[in-house]
Amino acid sequence: MKLKSNIYGGLRMAFSIKVFNSKKEFSGKKVAIVGAADSVFQECNGSLIDKYDIVVRVNKSPHAWSKEDAKFVGSKFTFLYHSFYENELSGGGKIDWGRYNNLGIRKVVNPNCTRKGLLAHFNYYKRNKHKKRTYILDRVSYEEVATGLNNYIPTIGFSALSSVLQAQCQEVFITGFTFFKTPYANNYRPHLEKMEDNKTHIRKQGLHDPELEFQLFTEVLNHSPCKKILMDQPLTKLMEAASL
C-alpha cells in the first residue's frame, strides 16, 4: 500500500509541478508583498496594495483574510508562497483550492527548492489525490535567497521578500513584515500570537533565524535591481533604528 501511494503521489507531482521563475514573473512589474505581522494593521494601505500588478502573500493569509480587513491589507491575491506543510501548528495551513480560486490566487509557490522542500511537495501529492498545478521556486533564485543564512531554512516570508527584490521590478511595496519583532496579525496563528510563545516555538524548531534574516534584508535591499522600493512605516522605523 505504501509503495502504491508513493508511486501515484510521484506521478501526480510529476505531471502537476512547474518551476516558478521569479525573475521572469516579477520583471518590469509593480509588486506588493504582504506579510503576516500585526504591523500591517497600523496603516490603511488596502487600496494602495490593490493597485499593484502583482500581490504576493504568504502561507495562511487566505484563511486569515476577511472583508473587514481589506482596508488595511487589500483584497487582491495573485501569488501565494506556501511551505506545503499543511499542519496548523507550524505549517502553512490547509491548501484550500476553493478559497484560493474565490480570492483569485493564480499560482501557489513552494519557495524551498531543496530536497526537503521537494519532499514536502511530494507528501502533499500523496495526501491529495488530484493534479492541481503547483509551483516550486527555481533553484538559482532559491540559492540567492538562502545565501548567508548559515544552513538555516529561509522563512516563507523572507523567501517572498528576497525573490521579489532579486527581480528587476518597476516598483515594490512591502508591508506586514517586522521579522518577528512584533506579534502575528490577528487570526493568522492564534496559538502563537503572544511574542514569547512564538519565540519559544522558533527556538524549539531550530529551522529559522529571523534576526539573521533581518540583517540580510538590508543587504538584499542594497543590492536589489528594483527601480523603486517602498515600505510601510513600521518596517521603515525598524530599519532606521537598526542603522543607528
Interatomic CA distance for residues 43 and 113, integer angstroms: 34
CATH of domain 2-243: 3.90.1480
pLDDT, position 130: 85
CA dist 38 → 35, 64, 73, 75, 207 (Å) = 9, 12, 11, 17, 22
**Number of residues written out for the chain:** 244
CA dist 77 → 49, 68, 86, 137, 215 (Å) = 10, 16, 19, 18, 28
Which of the 8 DSSP states describes residue 167? S
pLDDT, position 8: 76
Answer yes or no: are the C-beta atoms of 185 and 41 closer than 8 Å: yes
The amino acid that residue 186 corresponds to is N
Question: Model-level pTM greater than 0.85?
Answer: yes
CA dist 12 → 81, 86, 92, 227 (Å) = 20, 18, 21, 40
Is the Cα dihedral 120, 124, 126, 130 positive or negative?
Answer: negative
- Cβ-defined contacts of 114-118 (< 8 Å, 24+): 114/142, 114/153, 116/153, 117/84
Interatomic CA distance for residues 219 and 104, integer angstroms: 33
Interatomic CA distance for residues 223 and 148, integer angstroms: 14
Which of the 8 DSSP states describes residue 37? B
Cα 129–chain centre separation: 25
Residue 233 CB partners (closer than 8 Å, separation 6+): 42, 43
pLDDT, position 226: 97
pLDDT, position 209: 85
Query: How do the pLDDT tens digits run along the chain, 244 residues long?
Result: 577 777 877 788 888 999 999 999 999 999 999 999 999 999 999 999 999 999 999 999 999 999 999 999 999 999 999 999 998 776 788 999 999 999 999 999 999 999 999 999 999 999 998 889 999 999 999 999 999 999 889 999 999 999 999 999 999 999 999 998 888 767 766 565 665 655 665 565 656 788 999 999 999 999 999 999 999 999 999 999 887 6
Residue 69 class from Cβ within 10 Å (0-12 exposed, 13-18 middle, 19+ buried)? Answer: middle
